[in-house]
Chains A and B, each alone.
Chain A
Amino acid sequence: MTRNWKHKDLCALADHTASELMTVLDTATAFKGVGERNLKKVPALRGKTLVNFFIEPSTRTRVSFELAAMRLSADVVNISASASSLEKGETLLDTARNLEALRADLIVIRHKSAGSARFLADRLNASVINAGDGAHEHPTQGLLDAFTIREKLGRIEGVRVAIVGDILFSRVARSNIQLLTKLGAKVTLVGPPTLVPATFGCLGVEIANSIDEILEQSDVINLLRIQHERQKREYFPGVGEYTSRFGLTKKRASQLKEGCLIMHPGPMNRGVEIDSSVADGSGSVILDQVTNGLAVRMAVLYLCSGGAPMASSATDQ
């Protein structure tokens, strides 16, 4: 597969080809080596300025982008919603244009509105990286999940991935679906019909309304948090019923296939979608995902700044 990436922005994995997405994963593999070294910094983005423009709360993703930029030697500024002019009635576009006027080279945006990253990317010369736009996409999360699967299982094609929970409101699910189906994985969405509507079938995935159906067949089980903040209405009768029908309990975890990866994009609600001991157990790769996120984000920032795609030793053998 030829490596290529000719985009200034990363707004949605739906916009990119399988070969572009593999390019990001391969470049991330090369950058992961940097994180394992004593001296964790490379000069790839020296002199560039990155603005972390987070208009929704985030810890993991924001810190991950910040560290990724620092490891590439970029200068980083963080803005949060309460500190921004949006509070004073300025439009998103005007705020972003001001950041660009301050010569930001990269803008990493998290925003509650689907399409907001694309909206800015189409109007700015700066690179725009989507760190989560409403229920639309969270591309770097999708990439780091695929990276982790490839790292642990050695492949993505043919891997059976179950994504369990609040699919309707999940940008993580949408990015995972886009990437995994393009790279040949078999994806099953699991949850109550109110949170996994039949329309998801058009994305080339299977739908299951019982977690018990998928335990024995899955190579990867990815558990999502119930996003109460996005659900303005009732989608299921209560957390207790949700856990009893869809939670990965100890008993259910024991039915998983040997070597099945247990993933979670965080933040995790222990005892709701995942049993606490299962989250910390041997199949869990939840913290590996976080570590890999750093390498993936370094690759994304590097490629969107015009860096040449890199080979990873793993895939060139």
Chain B
Amino acid sequence: MSHSLHITGGRVIDPANGIDEIRDIHVRDGILVNEKPSRAEVIDASGKVVTPGLIDIHVHFREPGQSHKETIATGARCAAFGGFTTVVCMPNTSPVADSPSTVAWIQERAASTACVNVYCTGAITRGLAGEEMSPIGALAQAGVVALTDDGRCIQNHGVMKRAVEYARQFGLPVMDHCQEATLSADGVMNEGEWSTRLGLPGWPSLAEDLIVARNILLAEETGHPIHCQHISSARSVRLLREARLRGVPITAEACPHHISLTDERLKTFDTTFKVNPPLRTAADIDEIIAGIADGTITILASDHAPHAPYEKEVEFDQAPFGMLGLETELAVFLEILLHQRKVLTLPQIITLLTVNPAKLLRLDRGTLSCGSPADITILDPDHSWTHDRNHSPSLSKNTPFHEFPLRGRALTTIVGGKVVWDLENGFRN
């Protein structure tokens, strides 16, 4: 099949090129082109929005090692279902992605089983242990797009500083899960009113704030970009805002659950809502949303973290951290940022889901420019629907948005000129 398309009549939002207008999009052999190719499949997008394929730079696809939770294939289907054409996998697999061979295994697996583009990150330190550097040069050569110890946070500032300095020669951004371990300790939820009520050990915002401050100073000192993952705390947003105004090369991302759910959700001890960093307060949500609105937080991501039902169905403090996200990510961002809070326009939201993440990780995607791979998402920002965890392509069920009424949804997901999923017909293979 030639993967040639003629997408007609849609509102094309292409932030990379400053485009927001009704126009047609043409694809020949999987590449965006200017003229209508012959023998193209026609997709009528009138009344709909056509954007570059959405990018999520923070997902856990659990392969190798934990394929009972998710595989690269099922994770990729969650992405396509949610309108995402490109994802970036975290390295906390088993074995950890801290060697070129593991990275190569993931890349091959993705090439043969995934219906979306899958990029790898490499671990900063061997085994995510926070002590010795991974073979960063070899990882760069193997094609990782960033370095991170996600799930863990390097506590030793000397190790972190040297890793950032070393990564600089390869131009690899360093992404950090910000968590000071002596303060988060055995915490399982936000430290505050609800941890007090429930008698659960608290994981205070301060533990995130301290590492965000550390990373700001390291980015400033080394001149190399550091990206703070899944910001959950109001004070972290304020620290980042001040640093970015000074021109420090620091960026940050926000996740759907951290702008839509508070720690009060834990009052029934439902482990679905146990996530790291934890759900926090309404004041934190307000500041994160303000940070998204004012350009402090420039990237939106899911932290898609599948866990099997039997793993989550245990005592609260024993349950693993993490929740699903890809299937509902676009909808929650649109529901909160566009419909409820009205802090961003649709083109601005698309910017945070396409061109900004592509720029950070230097991906040749997130644009509808001629000559780019034809990754395209067709969406309806007003489409009302209710998510049902039993209709998710994930192997796991741990979504916090089960039965949530949402507005906004992907209708068609196109990867390399090929329709991989659409709402009407589902997956194409």
Contacts and interface: CB of A to CB of B under 8 A. Distances in A.
Contacts of A311: none
A188 B268 CA distance: 27
A92 B314 CA distance: 7
B192 interface: yes
Contact of A203 (B197, B268, B313): B197
Nearest to A197: B196
B200 interface: yes
A233 B268 CA distance: 28
A116 interface: yes
12 contacts: A91-B314, A93-B313, A93-B314, A115-B316, A118-B269, A119-B316, A122-B268, A133-B199, A199-B191, A202-B197, A203-B196, A233-B185
A116 B193 contact: no
Given A92-B314, A93-B313, A134-B317, A115 B193 contact: no
A92 B315 contact: yes
B193, B198, B318 interface centre (most CB from chain A within 10 Å): B198
Interface centre among B195, B313, B315 (most CB of A within 10 A): B315
Interface string A101-119: 0000000000101111011
Interface of B: 185-186, 191-193, 195-200, 268-269, 310, 313-318
Contacts of A111: 315
Contacts of B186: 232
A174 B197 CA distance: 7
A14 interface: yes
Query: Quick one: which of A92, A111, A113, A174 has the most chain B CB within 10 A?
Result: A113
B269 A119 contact: yes
Contacts of B316: 113-116, 119
Contacts of A197: 196
Nearest to B195: A199
A304 to B, nearest CB: 19
Contacts of A92: 314-315
B196 A200 contact: yes
A134 B199 contact: yes
Contacts of B200: 114-115, 134-136
B256 to A, nearest CB: 25
Contacts of B314: 91-93
Given A114-B269, A232-B185, A233-B185, A119 B315 contact: yes
Given A135-B199, A233-B185, A114 B317 contact: yes
A137 interface: yes
Given A113-B316, A118-B268, A136 B196 contact: no
Given A118-B268, A232-B185, A233-B185, A136 B315 contact: no
Nearest to A122: B268
Nearest to A14: B197
A116 B315 contact: yes
Contact of A171 (B199, B269, B310, B315): B199
Contact of B196 (A118, A119, A199): A199
Interface of A: 14, 91-93, 111, 113-116, 118-119, 122, 133-137, 171, 174, 197, 199-200, 202-203, 232-233
A93 B199 CA distance: 21
Given A118-B268, A118-B269, A232-B185, A113 B197 contact: no
A203 B196 CA distance: 9
Nearest to B200: A114
Given A136-B199, A136-B200, A137-B199, A113 B313 contact: no
Contacts of B317: 113-114, 134
Given A113-B316, A114-B199, A119-B315, 16 more contacts: A14-B197, A92-B315, A114-B198, A115-B315, A118-B268, A118-B269, A119-B316, A122-B268, A134-B200, A135-B199, A137-B199, A171-B199, A174-B199, A197-B196, A202-B197, A232-B185
Contacts of B310: 91
Nearest to A171: B199
A23 B352 CA distance: 56
Contacts of B191: 199
B266 to A, nearest CB: 9
In the complex, which of the residues B192, B269, B318 has the most CB atoms of chain A within 10 Å of its own CB atom? B269
Nearest to B196: A199
Given A113-B318, A115-B316, A202 B269 contact: no
Given A93-B313, A114-B269, A233-B185, A202 B318 contact: no
Contacts of B269: 114-115, 118-119
Residue of A92, A93, A115, A199 with highest tally of chain B CB at under 10 A: A115
Given A118-B269, A233-B185, A113 B315 contact: yes
A115 B200 CA distance: 9
A134 B185 CA distance: 17
A137 B196 CA distance: 11
Contacts of B313: 91, 93
A36 B196 CA distance: 39
A49 B192 CA distance: 40
A292 to B, nearest CB: 24
Question: Looking at A197, A199, A203, which has the most chain B CB atoms within 10 Å of its CB?
Answer: A199
B199 A202 contact: no
Nearest to A233: B185
A291 B247 CA distance: 69
Contact of A202 (B193, B198, B315): B193
A232 B193 CA distance: 21
Contacts of A136: 198-200
Shortest 7 CB-CB contacts between residues of A and residues of B: A115-B269, A136-B199, A135-B199, A113-B315, A199-B196, A114-B199, A202-B193
A93 B310 CA distance: 10
A136 B198 CA distance: 5
Contacts of A232: 185-186
A257 to B, nearest CB: 29
B47 to A, nearest CB: 45
A190 B270 CA distance: 31
A110 to B, nearest CB: 13
Contact of B193 (A118, A119, A174, A199): A199
Contacts of A134: 199-200, 317
B162 to A, nearest CB: 29
A93 B269 CA distance: 15
B48 to A, nearest CB: 42
A19 B318 CA distance: 35
Nearest to A118: B269
A171 B197 CA distance: 10
Among B192, B196, B200, B268: residue with most chain A CB under 10 A: B196
A118 B267 CA distance: 10
B305 to A, nearest CB: 21
Nearest to A115: B269
